[in-house]
Amino acid sequence: MANKKDIKKVVLAYSGGLDTSIIIPWLKENYNNCEVIAVSGDVGQGTELDGLEEKAIKTGASKLYIEDLKEEFIQDYVYPTVQAGAIYENRYMLGTSFARPIIAKRIAEIAIKEGADAICHGCTGKGNDQVRFELAIKAFAPDMQIIAPWREWDIKSRDQEIDYAEAHNIPLKINRETNYSKDKNIWHLSHEGLDLEDPANEPQYEKPGFLEMGVSPIDAPDKPTYVTISFEKGIPVALDGQKMDGVTLIKKLNKLGGENGIGLADLVENRLVGMKSRGVYETPGGTILYKAHQCLETICLDKLTMHEKKKLSVTYAELVYNGQWFTPLREGLSAFADKINENIKKQDIAARYGGDKISVILKNMSHDEAKYMAEYMTYSLSCCLVDDIGPVNKVSVGIATYPDDSMDKEKLLILAEQAVLVSKTKGYNNGHSTIVSAQDYDFWEDTALNSFAAVMAKRHSQLGINFEDALVEQFQSENILSQNHLIEIVTSLASAIDAKDTYTNGHSGRVATYSREIAKRLGYDERGQDEIYMMGLLHDVGKIGVPDAVITKPGRLTEEEFAQIKSHPAKGARILQAIGELPKLAVGARWHHERYDGRGYPDGLKEREIPEEARIIAVADAYDAMTSNRSYRRSMDQKAVREQIEKGKGTQFDPRFADIMIQMIDEDRDYQMRETEGE
């Protein structure tokens, strides 16, 4: 170590926080009144950099470098880590860890340029950052002396640091009561100290000012937000079809995720230096990005590669956490990640996943190529663990391709969703994964697509529009050209119903399938089976006119809210009556909540006053409701469901149709007739 008297110029890693604010005068006091050059690496701290130069000069620095490192940080440090799937101890997305190497590298470069005698940092002797900074500095300036005040001075606590600052008239943005230790950059924000020191204390997510990048899940909106992320070789390049640089993309994802209460992690981590530390992290955009990348991997990676990559991601996370970024091993693992990400994805894929249903839109692919991609995806899902729930052995996949099927995004989405509905029906019959392309059937007609897409566009673009009235108006003006055209409209509507409530996604298709099976066992001919299937698909169409907040409310409904729910049969009948070519469509919608004993709604009909098709749908609807997850409860086991159907014979259900449903339950020994999402 050089003599302190030989230290004439020091480059300081400067953040303007408590530690580095007092280090400038401390260096001048203890290192022969040396020149102090402050360096701040801008990795997205935002307003924390405001007024930094003035503060640094006033406290004794000769100059301040503020280096804009944001885009380099995202492209060369963040994205490679995402590609590698590296998350430390399954929770921590390495926000501080991979920000230190790029800052230290730039500090070392400036120190060499300035002819400095030493580099100084403000990392504590019990923290990880001292190792991260010093390993990176040694990679680029191996002969440079490193000064670490926390390993030299007599200051023992943050309170003593504040005492020192007050004695030297150093302005601070914190006080003794609110001095959480925080680290912020474009990727994340960490919180440590104060009440968080006790693991028994719950983070104060709802306290104003605690969260800075988003809101508590309790305060998040009760409706979904959709975003499409486009990847090139595993690197995100666009949001919702709009190309953008890394900084802009992460900022937009942070806003979306933060508004929806995404990305909060409360954990006790094992630190590099041999202790445990409790921290609360905000990483909204990063959480979305990791999830999207993982979903794409299930499509694009083979079984052995995915499994090996998962093992190596643990090592990668360890290296990043431990400050070993500039090492041959980390570089080698990044080369591996680059290789396996070559197919994630040279072409755009838009996908919607909902339990055991997947709709996929593929760009610039032939029909045969798309089918192959889907087959490969289903194979991968059956072989690999998905979100720690195990292999997925049965999925229903619907495919639409751009531009062969359509060049319009609304049409493509509807085509894919319709194909999924057909696939779901086939899957129920054969008991394994099925794949259906829009090109497999000849009933996808432009007339119906145009009409429904127009209404859907209004739905997505105009707040407060009465979707019920829009549909009635549209259907009254329609000229139904054929039975196929009618089927097209029905499947489009069913897709809209499912999109209304994520908790009941797939409900319409399952009710339709069960209803058709009951009708088949009653001796209905094929046309009658098809009719009741369409009625089942549309039995809940009236929910389109019920507010989302009411449908998805997790707790008990108020009287007013329950009245809104009870209005959906009449609303549904009004919509479907506008389709004059099949008057019976409205039967299931209006009367599926009537009871055999006359105590149902909306009309209080009983026994054979209730149309037969509605009585069939009522049993199928009740069965699926009990076997599906809801916002307010989990699904019931099959034994309990059977008991409820048996108990409802002659009161809630027509005994004949209840007996058939019980027979179907008894035959379903593997419990396949149910929603599988979340299992």
Catalytic residue positions, numbered: 19, 100, 129, 181
Cα(382)–Cα(362) distance, integer angstroms: 21
Query: Does residue 105 contact residue 133 with C-beta atoms inside 8 Å?
Result: no
The separation between CA 153 and the C-alpha centre of its own chain, rounded to angstroms, equals 46
Query: 351 — phi, psi (to 5°)?
Result: -140, 150
Query: Does residue 510 contact residue 539 with C-beta atoms inside 8 Å?
Result: no
Cα(357)–Cα(359) distance, integer angstroms: 7
- Residue 5 burial (10 A CB sphere; 0-12, 13-18, 19+): exposed
- Residue 674 burial (10 A CB sphere; 0-12, 13-18, 19+): buried
Within 8 A by CB and 6+ apart from 368, the residues are none
Residue tagged 């020091």 (tokens): 10
Helix axes 284-300, 246-259, angle to 10 degrees: 110
**Bridge partners (DSSP) listed for residue 421:** none
Query: What type of residue sits at position 316?
Result: Y
Nearest Cα to Cα of residue 584 among 519, 517, 501, 521: 519
* Phi-psi domain of 525 (left: phi exceeds 0; alpha: psi -120 through 50; beta: other): beta
Within 8 A by CB and 6+ apart from 72, the residues are 102
Cα(568)–Cα(574) distance, integer angstroms: 10
Helix (H) or strand (E) holding 641: helix 638-647
Query: What type of residue sits at position 450?
Result: N
**Sheet with strand 434-437: strands edge to edge:** 349-354, 357-363, 396-402, 434-437
